[in-house]
Structure 1
Amino acid sequence: MTHVRTPALPSRLPHVGTTIFSVMSALAHEHGAVNLGQGFPDFDCDARLVDAVTAAMREGLNQYPPMPGVPALRDAVAAKIEALYGHRYDPAREITITAGATQAILTAILCCVHPGDEVIVLEPCYDSYGPNIELAGGRIVRVPLTPGTFRPDFHRIAAALSPRTRAIVVNSPHNPSATVWSADDLARLAALLRPTDVLLISDEVYEHMVYDGRAHASASSHPELAARAFVVSSFGKTYHVTGWKVGYVAAPAPLSDEFRKVHQFNVFTVNTPVQHALARYMADPQPYLGLSAFYQHKRDLFRDGLRTTRFELLPSEGSYFQCVGYSAISDLTEAEFCRWLTTEIGVAAIPLTPFYADGFEQRIVRFCFAKKDATLQQALQRLARL
């Protein structure tokens, strides 16, 4: 009998394994824990949005849309950005609808990073950035955000810039720390990049979740940065439909042209009826204009409950995350503490160590409060033991 074997395949990502999100979610399910680990809601989206998708399907809008996206949706995105941030993108040339923000970031990196180029990432950072850069053949240059405050260290960013720097990835509101860049921060970044040709990939998926009266400082709002930026956002985060995997990129026409060259070959285009539904739903700006107040209520409810525990509450300026220090509770590592918290207390969190390449330990973990109030109350009842 002929011996059958699968050929050996050298990995493009040899250091990548199962993500911490999958590990902790499986552990939470096994132990019946309240899962405040992964960043997605446990409540439904607006029924009007589901009805709009159904209506689009029944109207026969089920075939391929244009490669860059349904024109009505690109028009709606351009109008929103202009209304909020004062910058007008041409919807025909400068807005591209993507299969979620993760695809948008990968495509932005693939279109501009050549083998040997350097890309600056600010740690801790979302776990797709590094593998995306590696897949493009680029070199990751890691610059830490200031430990404790997670503010950008512009002296260290300046020192990391080199003639080989192709791009810098910035995320605000920030996952995992929930910090938010200010307009002054953007101005300092613009001053650093002014004499260079370095591009900006601005991950703004939590743009509509900024608290305590702050305004989101978008790269789109700063003309110098907008001229060199791929600005990424997510309908999934904004409208509580993370499983739909639809986002967008706004970028100047020369950058969008290169972006679309890659986009057309890695996804081609995005779900047609969902695009039409989103375009119709965006006619009412209230769902995204009211999102900060919606989530600030949940943030405040969760923070008030945590104050009865020995956790140290870090600021939560934006996003739907709350980081806490646990040094007064345990000397376990972050991963060990999250495992203990899940199995013994019945609440799942995420360690910050996987957001650093070197697994930097700070005894800080991240909770997600994008949950029903009843879910948060249940978690707080269990955490009250601490």
Structure 2
Amino acid sequence: MSQRSVAILGSTGSIGTQALDVIGRNRDRFSVAALSAGSNIDLVARQAVEFDVPLVAVASGSPEEVRTAIGAYAARAGHTAYAPEIVVGDGAAVTAAGTGADVVLNGITGSIGLRPTLAALEAGSTLALANKESLIIGGDLVRRAAKPDQIVPVDSEHSAIAQSLRGGRAEEVRRLVVTASGGPFRGRSRDELRDVTPEQALAHPNFAMGRVITTNSATLVNKGLEVIEAHLLFDIPFERIDVVVHPQQQIHSMVEFRDGSTIAQLGPPRMLVPIALGLSWPERLEDVDEPCDWSMAQSWDFAPLDDDAFPAVRLARRVGEAGGTFPAVYNAANEVAVDAFHEGRIGFLDIVDSVARVVDEHESAHTGSEFDASTVEGVLGADAWARGQAATELGL
């Protein structure tokens, strides 16, 4: 594999920092063409100096703040001649995404990742997609913008499916099996979830993630989003995408073929391998993570998903099948509800219940016809409508 240039969107977050770790251990394989961050100017400045990045994009702050922070780190590193291009503002990530880097890793969280996703595709870059929301809310808009094989999934479940699909032809696939840890409340009934606190919801058993993603893992909204993403990435109908609870998260997902065989991808419950594959696909890098230790006795568990206690996946299937702007409504209403939960305004069960009410309103008021899912403006219009409707539903 020849050296690839990489633009990292969300470089100061979990995905971005791990990607830079992978790149730092494989400098002969990768160079960093651009970094984009939200507001952590200090960290992105340090990253920029370490990797000699030509473009630094920051959503919040001023060019002077960024330039000063970079200058301080450059002086400490003895790299005083370093003077990257600096972009600041709402469109900073779009600028970084459109540089024409060989690979753009979109590690931004939320619907704000849609425009950068489209910019990367338009520039002809391979899109290593960790920002699932942009595909989910963009739907066919994103798929039409992408050339064949231009999108490489970075979510561990979808990376696992992509790897497993190498074991057969598309027409030989019977179903996809997406695994779920079950989150911190696995095994609880709906009644036992009524008094869950924000602190408990953030205590994920396997991953340390941001507030929204960790809460989505507790409600299983995240798994619902992943079911929609799997449908869009692999063009498999929803009735052939299953979810199974696997607490150990050693099997990241599976593909069942029509002859009865199942191929699974195994590895530690970490993101290093999916991130590395997003950068190097279809090739593999050396020693990215520790493999499973087969010298140790271990047991892995599997259980069906409890749709009554965790209805988010069932609701996601409904909005995914409806298509259009319904997935954008599901995602946006959930983000508002998660914030309200952490602000102490609503209970844990109210998160998904309120999302369902907003989806119902979107359907009964025929508002789906008011927003054009084939345009960015239409998708983001539905997103804004859902946020307002969710706020109204929750009395915010």
Shared fold per TM-score greater than 0.5: no
TM-score between both structures, scaled by the size of structure 2: 0.32
* Structure with more of its chain in helix, by fraction: 2
